Amino acid sequence: MDLIEIVFYAFAVLIVSSALVVAVSRNIMYAAFGLMFTFFGVAGLYVLLNADFIAITQIMVYIGGILILIIFGVILTTNIAGVDIQEGPIGKFRMVSATLITLVLFAVLLIMYLNAEFIVGSANFGDSTLKALGTSMMTKYLLPFEVAAVLLLVALVGAALIARRK
């Protein structure tokens, strides 16, 4: 038996056992953590298939986004009567610090955009798909990528505004 086969079977056992925990668990937090291990196992299978970008996307989107959203949803809805969202004017210090942070992040993104060919061209990824995807995301598809990021941010802020108390 090859080492890759052993790793494959280990991921398969992890996926099946954690999916079983999700299916039969009566506690939603246990089910959420079982789902996390299922997602990790699927990401491991993607790594074995040399689909490293999909594996990282799996971890970032499903574990970093959706699963954390589920856990926060459970935590926030258990004590829904005591939730107080702060309202009122934004202080001057907060506004200045938010503006400075935004300008610094904009400058970093602008520098990365101007040096995209140098940054991506100097990295050695081997047989990875990351170089081709990174080059196209930071050169050819940069505008749609940034538009999607801003759209997601606006949706998040809108959801927070809808969810707050009247």
Mean pLDDT of all residues in 93-104 = 85
pLDDT at 40: 92
d(CA 39, CA 25): 17
Task: Report the 10 Å Cβ neighbour count for 56.
Answer: 14
Mean pLDDT of all residues in 58-87 = 72
97: pLDDT strictly greater than 50? yes
Nearest C-alpha neighbor of 37 from the set 60, 53, 21, 56: 21
3-class secondary-structure state, position 154: helix
d(CA 164, CA 158): 10
pLDDT in tens, 103-155: 998 888 888 777 766 655 555 556 677 777 888 888 899 888 899 989 999 99
Say which amino acid occupies 154: V
pLDDT at 112: 73
9: pLDDT strictly greater than 70? yes
Q: Which domains does the chain have, with CATH numbers?
A: 1-83 (1.20.120.1200), 84-166 (no CATH)
10: pLDDT strictly greater than 80? yes
pLDDT at 85: 46
pLDDT in tens, 17-64: 999 999 998 888 888 889 989 999 999 999 888 888 888 888 888 888
Banded pLDDT at 83 (limits 50, 70, 90): very low
pLDDT at 90: 62
d(CA 45, CA 69): 24
